[in-house]
Structure 1
Amino acid sequence: MTMMAFAPAKLNLFLHVIGRRADGYHLMQSVFTFLDYGDSLQIMVTPSSVIRRTNDVPGVPEDADLVIRAARALQMASGVSRGAEIAVQKKIPMGAGLGGGSSDAATTLLALNRLWQLDWPNQTLQKIGLSLGADVPFFVGGRVAFAEGVGEVLTPIAVPTWWYVVVTPKTHVPTPFVFQHPDLTRSTPPFKIVDFSATGLANYKNDLQPVVLKAFPEVATALAMLSEVAKKSVFGARMTGSGASVFAAFESERDAREAYQQLSPKITGFVARGLDKHPHL
């Protein structure tokens, strides 16, 4: 049995760091949304217990690939005797703050849950996902969400399905570098979810952005260029996650594509529409 599965990219519409736990993990508030842009996975169930990737992914050894780790974690937790062969076609830039690896892992969990006929609830899959990465439970949960804790406390929330221009500068921003930086703001006052309004996103920010802009001039340049053409955007241009990607939201596809066309042809980016849920729910 074989399944073709889509792994959507995500954006953090804002990201506030509101504290730090005793174990060093940072507490946050954010809104995660999906994009109709992402990676493709082909997953085939095999009678043997072997789980393997059938193609190379540049820069990602098979044993370190979150897809393989997710499949093996689900196999171990369930005790299933079957295996899987998985091909991964990458489209989401790696290390860009778009959740590519986490999305691939979540889609693997969702797909194998069906292919192996486990029929486990998403909450169980989310627990496995959290052991792989803080963003994985969001992708497994499958709904646009208000995120708290370290990103694992998720409340479904309604956000308009805007169109987005996403630009990814040719640089890699290591997430640990950002969160360990002494200049990172860690004390943004928390607010209640009932006080959140998508129409007021201009009043929210990404606390990681100042640190990244100062340390990575390529991101600062990309943000400045996108800001220049994003005059019709809903709340201006900003960074997603810990970068390096920056984005701007637009009410219409026409406005988004007009803005994208004004960017330099040397810019790496894309136009995508927001999704209110994961395609494989």
Structure 2
Amino acid sequence: MSEGAGEEGRGHAKPKKPRSFWKELPLLVGIALILALLIKTFLLQAFSIPSNSMQNTLQVGDRVLVDKLTPWFGAEPERGEVVVFRDPGQWLPEQETEQNAVQVFFSAIGLMPSADEKDLIKRVIGVGGDTVACEKGGSVTVNGKALDEPYLYPGNTPCDDKPFGPVKVPKGHMWVMGDHRADSLDSRYHQRDGSAMVPVDKAVGRAVVVAWPLDRWGTLPVPDTFGQEGLAANMVGTAPAALGLAGAVPIVLWRRKRRKAERRSSPDTATAAAGAADAASIKG
């Protein structure tokens, strides 16, 4: 071998042998599980529909994807949304269920429902400050506005099986009802036990998509009736006040800054002017 050839051989390292697939597999599985856990906790979670209470919008066995991200940014449930929430107070019967180690593991990462979590799914009808009501033979009303509810299960009435109200929804709570009114033990049926108003902090998130089965795939938008003018009557008085406060803040800051400038330039004059203003206000 020549000298040049020897130098060339020393200048090139031997290529590393790629790791086998079986050695990479545990790492890939670990990363996938971590991502699944993060997605379940902060982004999306799949839920299975266990009952008929939301027919025909949702059928038993449907899998829905629930948005868990927006609540982290302060968003609260709104009228017309389909939401998943924790049992606010014995809405669900006590059940003794056992899960094996595999079921516990997969429920922890969101691939199976947990036996310990008691979740319900309903449609939000009223939010904090709203007045909701429904007389037999009539429509559900929110702040005096009648709802057009095309999502009701065929043959159902808005509330003939359980009329209610008028009741006012406290701040930080929501009034929920199932779309299958004749088969939904919703807020209407829990007024006596004090759990009719579901606390907003019990909400897991909004159901946004029916993901399974594939032939039922579709989004879950807010019905148009919840966007009608005047429905959010409880906000009429607060909006002008909020705008007035927002406009007053810069004016107050400007006046304070101007007074400080006057005091620095002419302390005696500024003090006298301020005293005269205070005296005038006391007399008034």
TM-score under structure 2 length normalisation: 0.24
TM-score under structure 1 length normalisation: 0.24
Between Structure 1 and Structure 2, the one with more helix by share is 2
Structure of greater Rg: 2
| RCO higher in structure (CA 8 A, sep ≥6) | 1
